[in-house]
Structure 1
Amino acid sequence: MRILAIDTSNEVLGIALLDEDQVIGEYMTNMKKNHSVRVMPAIEKLLADCETKASELDKIVVAQGPGSYTGVRIGVTVAKTLAWALQIPLVGVSSLATLAATAHYFDGYISPLFDARRGLIYTGLYEYQNGKLLTVWDDRNILAKEWAEQLQTLKRPILFIGNDITLHQELLGSILHDQAHFAGMTEHNPRPGELGKLGLTSEAVALHSFTPNYARLVEAEAKWLEKQERKN
């Protein structure tokens, strides 16, 4: 089985080709550039370098969010289009789980983190048990301060991981103290190979009804709802 994994949910653009036994190839950059322009050329280049035709793919795995509204939408649209054109299964995986998956080594809880502005973060809580990544608390959009206070009650080490950690590290450390651990620079980019691995055993989604997980309303929708509530 050959699996193509696609992650455009944040600034990191990640593409991977893998099978049940190995990661055949990965392409990854962390740049503020338009994923909509770069994702298909990246897929084509990776497949060519790995001497694989699109018709040889058996499954598409995509990071379905949360993350950048535009980035998540691009990845899901490309993945759905490929799955439909090739008539192969599509699997959606949490973007936060993909990031957490890099921390195999950590003996404690893992809190992947994306900044959501205004003191908010996208995060969830994960841990490894017997080599398998498990969800402890579901992904959510929450104030960083409130999240740290909730984690404080767990009395276990917490590893924070993600490129936006520096924006919240001081606050998290001030509340959690020695309970807080922070991943190193080379661990903050979500690996598309890990995304593909998570999708190996996941169930396929219903293609036409599959939608991104934004974890909150986009700002325009939230403002519209606020106006409607005031009118009522």
Structure 2
Amino acid sequence: MQRAKPSEELLVLALDTSTAVLAAALTRGGEVLASVQSPAERNHSAHVVPAVQKLLADAGISPGQLDGIAAGIGPGSYTGVRIAASVAKTLAWAWKLPIVGVSTLEALAVGAWREHAGQGSEAAAASHGGAADAAASAVAGSMELAGAGVQADPDRDRPGAAQPDTDRNQRRTVLAGADAVVASWAVPLIDARRGQAYTALFAASGREGWQRLETDAIRLASDWARRLYERLEITNAAERPERIVFTGDLEKQEGSISLLESLLAGLPGGAPAVARQPHVMEGRSAAWLGSRRLAGGEADDAHAFVPNYTQLAEAEAKLLEKPGEA
């Protein structure tokens, strides 16, 4: 079996058509070689293949050089989630490449968190080539240490501790960046009409990395706000995030965000700040998530690759509601 490359060496093609934006990117590690971001919700099927061709041409990359394909699998637009999945599985089969599915909600969340984390940090921007990149690198670094069986523990850097210089320097660099990352929750919201939203919950911190806390699901928005409050309520005050970053369909979901803010006003022990981060889907976020899976040796079955529909299409639901229909 071929040994998986580290994520920073992987050349990945990523695409997502689950939202109003067609997002695609070609990345190697954290570097974006080419990207497409096109707001053409009703024409994704017509534009996705030309977008892939343009990415490869702009970067001077041939399909044979790719290490894998990452495809956003939703949830989101019923038609949209099928487009990226169908194109990605066809390309993976034709080009004999591994394919991995990534959550559209997670890609949306990590992109918005990355933007929010980079705001107002001039020092990080100067020393790391961008505050957002610095924050993301710190989180990724903590995850890599954990994945290698190394705990991000400051006690290991105590004077006199026996460890190789390279190991010690790597850990100190990661820990220094980790301390600068504000512990946050990221909550993506894609409007699902009728007071509902496709949503999930993620956490980002320099010490723990990027983690999923709640699964992708369609939820009543008001119930979701109360669930987030209840989760904070049972969490030790010292372990709560410093901020909650909402993103996605913010205007359509303002009611639930405001509801959470009103509930937080009475939270004992102090409440996190609530932030609204405008953000549209980026291919680079799907590529980052896909690279993590590929670097771990994961791959989905191209022939059985299907999107996450989350719920039946409205037409199917109405059909099933008809008397006498099975």
TM above 0.5, one fold?
A: yes
In structure 2, how many angstroms separate the alpha carbons of the residues matched to 1:158 and 1:147?
14
Find the counterpart in structure 1 of residue 209 from structure 2.
132
- Write out aligned runs for 1:73-152 (5 A): 73-102=82-111, 103-104=113-114, 105=117, 107-129=183-205, 130=207, 132-152=209-229
Q: Give the Cα separation in 2 of the matches to 1:96 and 1:166.
A: 17
In 1, are the aligned partners of 2:17 and 2:84 still within 8 Å (CA)?
A: yes
* Structure with greater Cα Rg: 2
Once the two structures are superposed, what CA deviation does each residue of 1:142-178 show, in whole Å capped at 9, x if it has no partner? 111111111111235422111x111111332134335
Cα deviation per residue 1:162-204 (whole Å; 9 max; x = unaligned)?
1x1111113321343355623333xx11221111111112121
* Corresponding residue for residue 259 of structure 2: 174
Residue 295 of structure 2 corresponds to residue 200 of structure 1: no
Q: Normalising to structure 1: TM-score of the pair?
A: 0.90
Q: Distance between the aligned counterparts of 2:40 and 2:277, measured in 1? A: 19
SS in structure 1 of the partner of residue 322 of structure 2: helix
**Structure 1 runs of 4+ with >4 Å offset:** none
- Provide structure 2 residue ranges, at least 5 long, that are not aligned to the other structure: 1-9, 118-181, 233-239, 265-271
Looking at secondary structure, tell me which structure has more strand per residue.
1
* Cα 1:147–1:53 shift into 2, 3 Å: same
**Which one-letter code corresponds to 2:50 in the other structure?**
P
* Separation in 2, partners of 1:131, 1:25: 30
CA shift for structure 1 position 30 = 2.7
Q: Matched residues in 2 for 1:73 and 1:115: separation? A: 18
Q: What's the offset of the Cα at 1:131?
A: 6.7
Question: For structure 1, which segment, 25-34 or 38-47, has the greater mean C-alpha deviation from structure 2 after superposition?
Answer: 25-34
- What count of residue pairs does the alignment treat as equivalent? 228
Partner of 2:244: 158
Aligned partner of residue 25 in structure 1, secondary structure: strand
Q: Distance in 2 between matches of 1:180 and 1:161?
A: 14
Q: Which runs of 5+ in 1 are unaligned?
A: none
- Determine the structure 2 residue equivalent to 1:189: 280
Residues in 1 aligned to 2:183 and 2:40: alpha-carbon distance in whole angstroms:
31
Distance 1:21 1:171 in 2: 34
TM-score by structure 2 length?
A: 0.65
Q: How far does residue 20 in structure 1 lie from its aligned partner after superposition?
A: 2.7
User: One-letter code of the match for 1:110?
Assistant: A
Aligned partner letter, 2:315: A
Q: What percent identity do the matched residue pairs reach?
A: 40
SS at match of 2:226: helix
Give the helix-richer structure, 1 or 2.
2
Structure 1 counterpart of 2:60, from 43, 51, 54: 51
Greater alpha carbon shift after TM alignment, 76-85 vs 206-215:
206-215
Within the candidate set 187, 204, 212, 2:307 is matched to: 212
